[in-house]
Structure 1
Amino acid sequence: MSRIHHLYQSHHHKGSEGFTAIELLVVISIIAVLASLAGPSFSGLIERWRVRSAVEDLQSVLYYARAEAIKRGGNVTLEPASGGWTSGWEVKNGGTTLQTSPAPTRVDIRLADSSDANVSGSIGADQWGQLASTAGSGQVFVFRLTPAGASASSPAATSLCVYPAGSIRRLGDGSGAC
């Protein structure tokens, strides 16, 4: 009986010793190497997510401004914040602010006309929901969105074309024509 007890104790102690410090350091170093290799590949993905989020916010605000203009009989504007479109925007009816959108995170936004010349100022919506920029009524205008500091040729860049009748189309690049 003592021999069975001795075999049980020697077998039981072999598996319960845990990890050695060397084994733990090897696993940690492998994880660190894999993380350092994977980190840079996520930066492009994060940039695309940021731009996409800003495009979706801007698109929903344009639809909101159109709906409010139809409901209120016109006189609704979408205006950039004091620092420009990159700093956020507001939907206003006369002097009353209806909605404020904060600045998107690390995304540059510029408003351009159909010839891609920069346009400053606001976008107005009339009682029929038609949109016009300060470039003039009846003209297509486009929002160019890029990751902060990147050019329109960046893979994460995109454009939002806004047509006078109120339709909005998203382009897959930051420099495409509407």
Structure 2
Amino acid sequence: MVPDWLSPKGASTRLEVDVTFLETRTSCASPVLPDGLSLERVLPPALTLYRQLYRDVGEDYCWWMRRPMPDAQLAEILHDPSVYFMVLWDAAGVALGFYELDLRDHGDANLAYFGLVPAAIGRRLGPVLLNCAVSQAFDAGSWRLRVNTCTLDHPRALTNYQKGGFVIRHVVQEVWDVPDEYLPPRLRRL
């Protein structure tokens, strides 16, 4: 059943999307961050920063499902001690990207969200950040790490996951009714 807050209230656009589900059961070598960068868990309350990064990272790729989510429901997820909201920072304190690692399922970890802000793309930080997430999941005792991507994500997302050791398990075609206010500019009606 679709939560009420995911049902469009105004104008929406119907999009057909292929969602690719991947997993890895293999950890990687301990990642080393480039000089001047740090990766930190952001502890509650973190809703404002989370919402800002979610929008900045996903705006061009139609990340919309967390945007209308009520604060109380988002806080329930982010405040769970087994959910890690990890932010990649530069030396000046600018957030370059984030991931949300969900370890609530007793060793069957899920990389719920992962990405870089537009200004950080092309700097080879994606593989480093992905290695951090993989290493963290397996260091916590996970036996598997799952992630999914879709045809609206960054064009290199699927390839980067595969280069990071993930294998495709299945692909599902979905239809999304996306509120027009959350559509990327490239998909907006003229």
TM-score of the superposition, structure 2-length normalised? 0.25
Relative to its length, the structure with more helix (as a share) is: 1
Q: Which structure has the bigger radius of gyration? A: 1
Higher relative CO (Cα under 8 Å, sequence separation at least 6) belongs to 2
